[in-house]
Structure 1
Amino acid sequence: MSEFPRGAASPAAIVDALKAAAGDPPKARASFAKGQCVHGTYIPSNQAEEITKSRSFTRPSRVLARFSIGGGNPNVADTENLVPRGFSFRLGDSNHRSDILAQDCPVHYARTLEQMMAFHEVRVPGPDGKLDRERIRTFSAANPETLHQVNYIVARPLPASFASTTYWGVHCFPATNAMDETRLIKFKIAPVGGDVTLTGPEAKAKAVDFLHDELEQRVATGNVRFSVLALLDRPGDPTMDLTVRWPDEDHREAVRLGTIVITGIEPNEACDGSIFDPASLAEGIGHPRDEIFAARAVAYVISLKMRR
């Protein structure tokens, strides 16, 4: 905590701004407030050890996971097309635990902590409860990289299911294998069977909780499987700016680390009582070096304390 004193562009201040922008709902997450906890299993592939010696990725384990909708509003409609969908999951056991946080867009909305703070400050409603649209437009014009995420989201059709959407970890993780060879990877969580999206008329006809309702129906059939992929770095890749993708990322070499199978709906209390901690990574997967990751790990702890 000493690395980030409370004040401008601190994790604590960003949590406050996130909650203020959402109307400060009580006992809600600062971000990705609406979601559903689930459980399942993880089965490693025979290629996992080529990338990492982390036992959380190279050994079978139980999985605790949560699908979610971006933003701090716990009542946001599942049809909202300006926010990302999230998938956080926990692999391994108490001694070799890794928590991975992924979203359905491959970039973050800010390059620096200061920019992230300013992004939320201009979106805090005024005394009349309304947003200052001109202030947001001025900020966006001066900080065009903050539009990369939302432009990606709005350019794609609405997901038909949490279970048929691809998720990315936007950070670059150092992965070390048993031969002590280290390279950077990005996580990509791809639904077995591919992505399924809705047409415009289909999306308009959906209920506000359709993703959550569909997930319960889908899990009841046992048909929720994801491939956990490691995208491999190349020389010259941007590794510190989370607002840009690696070149040719959609066609980048990937190694399948394993498969997540979601087998049941879990009471939300099972996920709400703690956090999916970005800093919890078993040996063999290192902490990303960007400043957003360092702040994020602190912010999640602060948000949990505020919920309690």
Structure 2
Amino acid sequence: MPRLPFSIVAGGALAVVTLGSIAGAYAYSHGLGGLLGTQPTANQIVDRFEAVSGKHPGFRRNHAKGVCVTGYFDSNGNAAPLSRASVFAAGRSQVVGRLSIGGGNPAQADGASNVRSLALRIVTPGGGEWRTAMNSAPIFPVRTPEALFDMLAASRQAHDATTYGDNPGMDAFMKTHPEAARFDQWLRDHPPSSGFDNAAYYSVSAFRLIDRDGHAQDVRWRVEPDDAYTPLAAAQTHDTDFLERGLAGRLRQSPVRWHMIITLAQPGDVTNDSTRQWPANRTQIDVGTLVVQREEPQIDGPCRDISFDPLKLPDGIAPSDDPLLKARSAAYAQSHERRLHEEQRYAAGK
């Protein structure tokens, strides 16, 4: 049975669960109880993230290392028949985003993660807002919050193991969650990109677009870079911060562009399982261009206090029945509560 390396589990596989810095719409300070029944609480999930990477006050519990970016999204209007969301009407919306790697240690080397992440806050001229957190892998290793909770425990054991392979916890996890092998295989088949700028980023979870008549269409989205993908070079790993350095150098040449592609589900395509991709023959629509013009350090940049909660959706975009979405949203709120408390203690000199 394939085994997920710790660097993947802690740094890459969990990248889709971007624990935000401020509360979103689901500010459940006491966890997920009542929202997700017997599933692990947000408090418990965040505790396990901290157990894997250690406590780093003031930083996000996952994706602690990242960089702020700003730019715009030019919609071409192609998605307007599918969704009444103003962001899909032809025109330009402003963007504040964040490029990052997985893991809760803000000082970790860029090479420690096999997955990059891109989170966006898109605001239309009329004030509509859409937040999305995307990952450079199109699937997730597990499909439920319970399995995520178990994977975090197994990854902690991997972290503590003295030698690679000396990890009965991860072995047991893989036996009880064989679906995780699909994610492991995808990473083996797709080496990490050499930069933030030449990676594609995926919604992973399914969502629903709602048109003006109330009709719903299940979709996933991704952004495809104009820059040609190149795999990570061995020499790059000697630079702890090669991703941010590379992005800064690339932006000195010109803005970086991605095309946003929406994939339409057909009847029978699963929407509640992020470990499975849809068939490659599904209809795909180019709906506009994301342009990043500037990058800034996250310590005081415009993305610092944004929670990229995937359930911060405008009218015309709705969540699917993917059980991870509500768990992610609640965990963002819990992470914010802790981070805010830490910042207040720091300001007070305690």
Q: Secondary structure at the match of 1:283?
A: coil
Q: Deviations over 1:143-181 (max 9, x none)?
A: 122333233223322211111101100111110123433
Q: 1:193 to 1:215 in 2, by over 3 A?
A: closer
Give the CA deviation at 1:227.
0.7
Post-superposition offset of 1:203? 4.7
Map 1:41-120 → 2, pairs under 5 A: 41-58=72-89, 59-81=91-113, 83-93=114-124, 95-120=127-152
After superposition, residues 153-232 of structure 1 pair within 5 angstroms as 153-199=187-233, 201-204=234-237, 206-232=238-264
Are 1:261 and 2:295 counterparts?
A: no
| Secondary structure at the counterpart of residue 52 of structure 1 | coil
For 1:277-292, what aligned pairs fall within 5 Å after superposition?
277-292=309-324
Q: 8 Å contact 2:78–2:88 — kept in the other structure?
A: no
Residue 65 of structure 1 and its aligned partner are, at CA, apart by 0.7
Q: TM-score, normalised by structure 2?
A: 0.80
Paired amino acid for 1:218: R
Q: Secondary structure at the match of 2:51?
A: helix
CA contact (8 A) 1:55 1:92 kept: no
For residues 18-43 of structure 1, the C-alpha deviation after alignment (integer angstroms, 9 at most, x for no partner) is 11111222222121111110100111
Amino acid across the alignment from 1:152: W
Question: TM (normalized to structure 1)?
Answer: 0.90
Corresponding residue SS for 1:144: coil
CA distance in 1 between partners of 2:286 and 2:144 (Å): 31
Alignment correspondent of 1:17? 48
**TM-aligned CA deviation for residue 130 of structure 1:** 4.2
For residue 302 of structure 1, the aligned residue among 334, 343, 346 is 334
The alignment status of 1:4 with 2:32, answered yes or no, reads: yes
- The partner residue of 1:274 within 282, 299, 306 is 306
Displacement, 1:8? 6.0
The code of the aligned residue for 2:202 comes to: W
* Backbone CA RMSD of aligned residues: 2.3
Letter aligned with residue 204 of structure 2: V
What is the CA distance between 1:246 and its match in structure 2? 1.0
195 and 135 in structure 1: CA distance in 2 versus 1, 3 angstrom threshold: same
Cα pair 1:110 1:242 within 8 Å, conserved: yes
**Could you say what secondary structure the match of 1:281 adopts?**
coil
Question: Separation in 1 of the partners of 2:96 and 2:143?
Answer: 30
Instruction: Give the superposition deviation at 1:252.
Output: 3.1
Q: Percent identity?
A: 26
Is the CA contact (8 Å cut-off) linking 2:254 and 2:293 kept in structure 1? yes
> Is the Cα contact below 8 Å between 1:57 and 1:92 reproduced in 2?
no
SS for the counterpart of 1:162 is coil
- Single out whichever of 210-219 and 24-33 deviates more from structure 2: 24-33
Distance (whole Å) between structure 2 residues aligned to residue 188 and residue 161 of structure 1: 17
Matched AA of 2:248: E
| TM-aligned CA deviation for residue 77 of structure 1 | 1.6
Q: Structure 2 CA distance, aligned partners of 1:129 and 1:242?
A: 28
In structure 1, distance between residues paired with 2:87 and 2:321: 21
The letter for the 1-side match of 2:271 is T
Q: Tell me, which stretches of 5 or more residues in structure 1 are unaligned? A: none
Post-superposition CA distance 1:84-116 (Å, at most 9, x none): 210001112483100011000011121111111
Distance 2:121 2:39 in 1: 32
Which residue type is aligned with residue 86 of structure 1?
Answer: S
1:36 to 55, 63, 67: 67
Supply the distance in 1 between the matched residues of 2:232 and 2:43 (Cα, whole angstroms).
Answer: 37
Distance in 2, Cα, partners of 1:184 & 1:72 = 32
Aligned twin of 2:18: none
2:303, 2:183 → 1: CA distance?
26
Q: Secondary structure at the match of 1:164?
A: coil
User: Which letter does structure 2 place at the counterpart of 1:72?
Assistant: G
In structure 2, the partner of 1:26 is: 57
